[in-house]
Amino acid sequence: MPQNPTERLAAALAATPPAGVTVRRLDTHWTVVETLPPVARTFDAVIMFGVAGRETMIRYERIATPFTGPRVDADNRMPPALLRSRFTEFDVPELVRDARTAGFPVRLSHSAGTYVCNAGYGAALAGNPLSLFVHVPPTTRRGPLSDAGLERHARWLIGLVQESLRSGRPSFGA
C-alpha cells in the first residue's frame, strides 16, 4: 500500500511514546512467524497495528487463523504454514463496546486475513496470549479516521490496556 497509515501511526507513537510503552515497527515479511514469539513473551501485552486497504472502520481482531494466501511478502517469499488458530485472551467484544462508547468507529472481526498481519498476530499470540491486532482503514483528511484520529484511538487503547493490566483484569471492562 503506497500510503500505509500504520507507518505514520508507529512514527507518531515512537516520537512520543506513552509511559512504559515500547514501540517497534515490523516489516511485511513472513519471517515474523519465527522472530515474533520470543519478543512477544518479554512484554505484558502486545498491540499490533496493520492496514486493511478496503476497510472503512477500525477492526479489532479476535483470532489468528492457520490460513494464509499464496501471496509473497516484501522479500518475495511465500508464507510458512501456521499450525492452528489462536485466540487472544482479551475480551474483544467488550473492548469494541468500550471503543464505540468512547466515539471510535470500531468493529469486531473474526479474521485477521490471510497475509502477514494474520501470521504476525498468530506469532504474537503464540508468544503472548495478551496480544491484540488492530486493522485500520486508509485515512481520511479529518475525523476519527484521519492520522490524528487514529493516533488518538491508539493512545486511548494503549491507556485502556495499561489500566486493565494495572488493575489485574485484562478483559478491558470499563
- The CATH number linked to 141 is 3.40.630.20
Confirm if 139 and 150 have CB atoms less than 8 A apart: yes
Grid coordinates representing 32? 515474523
Q: What is the reported pLDDT for 172?
A: 52
Query: Domain for residue 77, yes or no?
Result: yes
CA torsion sign for 112, 38, 153, 14 is negative
In a domain, 142, yes or no: yes
Residue 124 lies in a domain: yes
Instruction: Give me the residues paired with residue 46 across strands.
Output: 131
Structural domain span for residue 162: 24-167
Residue 18 forms part of a structural domain: no
CB neighbourhood size of 17 (10 A): 13
**pTM exceeding 0.95:** no
60 part of a folded domain: yes
CB 83 within 8 A of CB 104: no
Positions marked catalytic: 117
Mean pLDDT of 93-97: 96
In a domain, 1, yes or no: no
Number of domains forming the structure of the chain:
1
Q: What is the pLDDT of residue 78?
A: 66
**34-85 tens-digit pLDDT:** 888 899 999 999 999 999 988 999 999 999 987 666 667 777 776 666 567 8
**6 belongs to a structural domain:** no
* 142-167 pLDDT, tens digit each: 888 999 999 999 999 999 999 989 98
User: pLDDT value at position 75?
Assistant: 74
